[in-house]
Homo-oligomer: A and B are copies of this chain.
Amino acid sequence: MFQTEVLPRLQALGGGRRVVRKTFSIAGMTESEVDARVAPIYKTYDRVQTTILAGTSHISLHLSRWLDPGEEPSDLIELASRIQEALGSAIFTTENEPIEAVVGQMLRQAGSSLAVAESCTSGMVGAYLTRIPGSSSYFSGGVLCYSNKAKTDLCRVPEETLERHGAVSGETAEALARGVRQVLGSAIGLSVTGIAGPDGGSAEKPLGLVFVGLSDDNRDLHIRRILPGDRDAVRERAAFFALACLRRFLMPESAAGKP
């Protein structure tokens, strides 16, 4: 009914004008980094409106353009193509999908499988991944390794690693990722360990410090990041960051670059 009855009337009211839009979802860059990169480009397109929105976890860049009757959005298409080139693989979708849908699709296409070990996020990564119907075809499960006992007994982290480097360290993150994929027989292991606050920070390991670990048969690695915000925000950002790192890990190496 909207298509056949409402839309024509609205179009007539608008004098036949219509709007076209394009949205980019961006991971691993701040709002000001995105703006510094794309402002020199979009400022030369004065009929396209460009808006940058910063959410808790990621940045969205919105283009919109009003078209007169019969007009084509060729400037918007050109600007979108230049933005795509400028931001490259930092764009995780132009379809407004959540990142768990993007990595889910990559895992499915690769015929791969994933297990997670979550300390500071304690279930948020697993909860996001399984929002996608059919995620059981690539998601094996995981461990909420909140206590050290969960890290050693369920994720096979050597006690020596915990003693020498601490629960929040790159070494522990890698051991968690390796251990959880082994115990669950998955191709890939993903881990998150960090200090969400409000207590537990120190000069050496401040609040917001997060390590993401990744492991498969070919490599073990970790990524360190200090995330801003209160306990809820750090956890939310850490869960998203873990999924963004997983996306990089799943990309062909030539396309990946900086997480």
Contacts and interface: CB of A to CB of B under 8 A. Distances in A.
Interface of A: 116, 118, 121-127, 129-131, 133-136, 139-147, 149-150, 153-154, 183-185, 197-199, 231-232, 235
A197 B198 CA distance: 37
Contact of A141 (B116, B145, B184): B145
Nearest to A119: B141
A168 to B, nearest CB: 13
Given A123-B142, A127-B127, 18 more contacts: A116-B144, A122-B129, A122-B139, A123-B130, A123-B144, A134-B199, A136-B147, A139-B146, A139-B147, A141-B146, A141-B147, A143-B143, A143-B144, A143-B154, A147-B184, A149-B184, A149-B185, A154-B183
Contacts of A149: 140-141, 184-185
Q: Please tell me how many copies of the chain the complex holds.
A: 2
A140 B151 CA distance: 10
B121 A127 contact: yes
A122 B130 contact: yes
A232 B147 CA distance: 29
Contacts of A125: 123
A206 B184 CA distance: 28
B154 A146 contact: no
Given A130-B123, A197-B133, A144 B144 contact: yes
A146 B130 contact: yes
B146 A144 contact: no
Contacts of A134: 199
Q: Which 10 A-B pairs have the closest CB atoms?
A: A123-B123, A123-B126, A141-B150, A123-B127, A141-B146, A122-B130, A142-B144, A141-B144, A126-B144, A122-B126
A231 B133 CA distance: 8
Contacts of A185: 149
A153 B198 contact: no
6 contacts: A121-B127, A122-B126, A122-B139, A122-B141, A126-B146, A133-B231
Contacts of A136: 146-147
Nearest to A124: B127
